[in-house]
Amino acid sequence: MSSELEFTRLRHLRETADIRRNNAETSLSVSELAYPIFVTLGSGIQRPIDAMPGQFQMSVDVAVKQVEAAHKTGIDKVLLFGLPQHKDSVGSSAKDAGEAVQAATRQLKRELPDVTVITDVCLCEYTDHGHCGIVTPDGEVDNDATLPLLAAAAVSHAEAGADIVAPSAMMDGQVAAIRADLNESGFEKTRLMGYSAKYASSFYGPFREAAGSAPQFGDRRSYQMSSTQSDEAMLEIEADIAEGADYIMVKPALAYLDIIRRASERFPEPPLAAYNVSGEYSAIKAAAANGWLDERGAAMEALIAIKRAGADLIITYFAPDAAHWLDQ
The catalytic site residues sit at 198, 251
CB atoms within 10 A of CB 248: 26
DSSP bridge partners of 81: 38
Rounded distance, CA 125 to CA 102, Å? 14
Name, in order, each residue with C-beta under 8 angstroms of 57's C-beta and a sequence gap of 6 or more: 38, 39, 40, 45, 46, 47, 49, 83, 210
Cis amide leading into 252 (omega within 30) = yes
Name, in order, each residue with C-beta under 8 angstroms of 224's C-beta and a sequence gap of 6 or more: 170, 198, 199, 200, 201
C-alpha Rg value of the chain to the nearest Å: 21
What stretches of 55-158 adopt beta strand conformation (E)? 56-59, 77-83, 116-121
Give the length of the chain. Answer: 328
Per-residue buried b or exposed e for 63-89, using 16+ beta carbons within 10 Å of the residue's own CB: bbebbeebbebbbbbbbbbbbbeebee
Rounded distance, CA 97 to CA 94, Å? 9
* 198 and 225 Cβ atoms separated by less than 8 Å: yes
CA 130 from centre of chain:
19
Rounded distance, CA 260 to CA 249, Å? 8
DSSP bridge partners of 247: 193
* 147 and 177 Cβ atoms separated by less than 8 Å: yes
